[in-house]
Structure 1
Amino acid sequence: MRNLEPFLSSAANPRVKEWAKLSERKYREREGKFLLEGVHLVQEALEAGWPLEVVAFDEGSGVLEQFEAYIDRDDLGSAKTGAETKWIPVSPEIIVKCSETGTPQPIFAVALKRPPEAEGLYREKQGLVVVLDGVQDPGNVGTIVRSAAAGGATAVVLGKGTADLYNPKTIRATMGALFHVPVLEADLEAALPRAAECGAAIVGTSLQAALSCYEYDFAERSVWLVFGNEGAGLSEASNAFVHANVIIPMSGRAESLNVAMAATVLLFEAQRQRMFN
């Protein structure tokens, strides 16, 4: 196990302090790194070949048995620096210090941000892009990323005011889906008109819309689905670029759907039309 490093016991260790700081957005942005907590997220990252700087695990927990196949792999780590992933046994105190949950799992990783290239989105002839305009709740953002990955979306675009993708709550809500669908930040006032110029339809949702989402043709060309803030909806700036609004019919009694639920319905209706109609 050539990548296994010496045991770390003290939560006051400088390396540990740097890892713990990644719970704050300003440090994540400065360092270009973020934390992954728990067996499932670390496994998903490793399976996807995501660049991990460090995997830290509770030496006495036995959790390493689930990861032995990954320890000496050469395709992990950072392609940018050429560094391999370091596997570090640590004390339970360190696990707690670097965790955001009340009952932390015995493993976490320090991952590198890997922003996707945006230009290819505009060249997609049958793209399906989810756009979030000020969706503030990390759970909603993470759930939408998860639905986008499951529904075969081309990408998720995060506009201004949207919750940070690398917030621990957002990451947990994605359930590892952020490793399987490109997610990028963009200025929507530039991205939406650019997408339209390249032939994409910009589609929003509205309770006042006359057109049902089941009548709209999601299969004919690229579609960018735009979802707004939980309370205020789409901003005026983004709404100005929308070509069509659709409504999700509801036969029961409910005022509206949660934004993550609405996004999921439209994603899977688009998938149904494109694959099963």
Structure 2
Amino acid sequence: MLITSQTNAKVVAWSKLKQTKHQRQAKQFIIEEKLLIKEAVKANLNCTIIAVVDSDIKADYYVSDAIMKKISTNESLNEVIAVCDFYDIKAENSNKIVYLDNVQDPGNVGTIIRSAYAFGYDQVVLANNSVNKYNHKLIHAAKGAMFHISIVDEINLEDCLNKGYEIFVTALDKKAIDIKHINKKNKMVVVFGNEGSGVSEPVLKLATEKVYIEMNNFDSLNVAVSAGIVLHHFK
């Protein structure tokens, strides 16, 4: 179907999906890269495909360049985008969990999700005001991994302790142990904190063990870099 008017009801609704509140109201989000759209379709997400009029891509709707720019977050013109319904992936097992405590940069969170999926983790928790999983920068950074791993907003860490999980918290703390001396466990939650303030005190108090990465010259790393190292160690 061809849409030519920028005031078309669908165009107006799609253009609002750049904002979190409208995403939540519509329970939809936008994907803007061909590779990511393929991953979403492969993962059986319910998506509406929208392409520019001169595209060879099979789409549900075709629109002008002006309309495509209106509904896109990219400055450059997309040939195709997808409007997809919110989705949930249930973890078959939840033995290896990544817990993000108020991690707000979407690029960092997307990269951590990608690492978690690559290294065989079961679930990622975006807790305590961590960024919305449907943020377009997060989607870009995750490179499709988010369509194949369970992502939830919260879990009860005290319940995890009661169920026998080890909770490893990354922290610059005198009592922290070099990660190379810690072995992976059958049931574990690995916690990473806010880019500036680190892991919050309530979460720190629940740690089974505080861990750190030995470094030369610096005492800290970007949270996504730290997560990649730690998650690979425990994979």
Query: Is the 2:89–2:149 contact (alpha carbons within 8 Å) kept by the matching residues of 1?
Result: no
Structure 1 unaligned residues grouped into runs of 5+ = 1-5, 69-85, 272-277
- 2:49 aligns with 55
- 1:228 aligns with 193
Identity across aligned pairs (percent)? Answer: 33
Deviation, structure 1 residue 105:
2.1
Matched letter for residue 246 of structure 1? V
Matched letter for residue 40 of structure 2? A
What is the distance in 2 between the residues matched to 1:163 and 1:114?
Answer: 17
Q: TM-score with structure 2 length normalisation?
A: 0.94
- Picking from 137, 142, 156, the partner of 1:174 is 142
- 2:160 aligns with 195
Query: Is the 1:38–1:104 contact (alpha carbons within 8 Å) kept by the matching residues of 2?
Result: no
Deviation, structure 1 residue 210:
4.2
Query: Is the 1:39–1:105 contact (alpha carbons within 8 Å) kept by the matching residues of 2?
Result: no
- Picking from 201, 211, 223, the partner of 1:246 is 211
Query: Is the 1:158–1:184 contact (alpha carbons within 8 Å) kept by the matching residues of 2?
Result: yes
Indicate yes or no: 2:36 matched with 1:41.
Answer: yes
What is the distance in 1 between the residues matched to 2:176 and 2:51?
Answer: 54
What is the distance in 2 between the residues matched to 1:39 and 1:165?
Answer: 19
Structure 2 unaligned residues grouped into runs of 5+ = none
RMSD: 1.6
What is the distance in 1 between the residues matched to 2:52 and 2:152?
Answer: 33
- 2:127 aligns with 159
What is the distance in 1 between the residues matched to 2:27 and 2:186?
Answer: 35
SS at match of 1:158: strand
Deviation, structure 1 residue 117:
4.3
What is the distance in 1 between the residues matched to 2:90 and 2:42?
Answer: 21
What is the distance in 2 between the residues matched to 1:194 and 1:24?
Answer: 34
What is the distance in 2 between the residues matched to 1:48 and 1:116?
Answer: 10
Q: In 2 relative to 1, CA 116–46 (structure 1 residues): closer, same or farther, beyond 3 Å?
A: closer
Alignment of 1:138-157 (within 5 A): 138-157=106-125
- Picking from 100, 114, 126, the partner of 1:132 is 100
Q: TM-score with structure 1 length normalisation?
A: 0.80
Alignment of 1:106-117 (within 5 A): 106-117=79-90
What is the distance in 1 between the residues matched to 2:152 and 2:123?
Answer: 8
What is the distance in 1 between the residues matched to 2:176 and 2:63?
Answer: 58
When the two structures are aligned, how many residues end up with a matched partner? Answer: 234
Query: Is the 1:135–1:228 contact (alpha carbons within 8 Å) kept by the matching residues of 2?
Result: yes
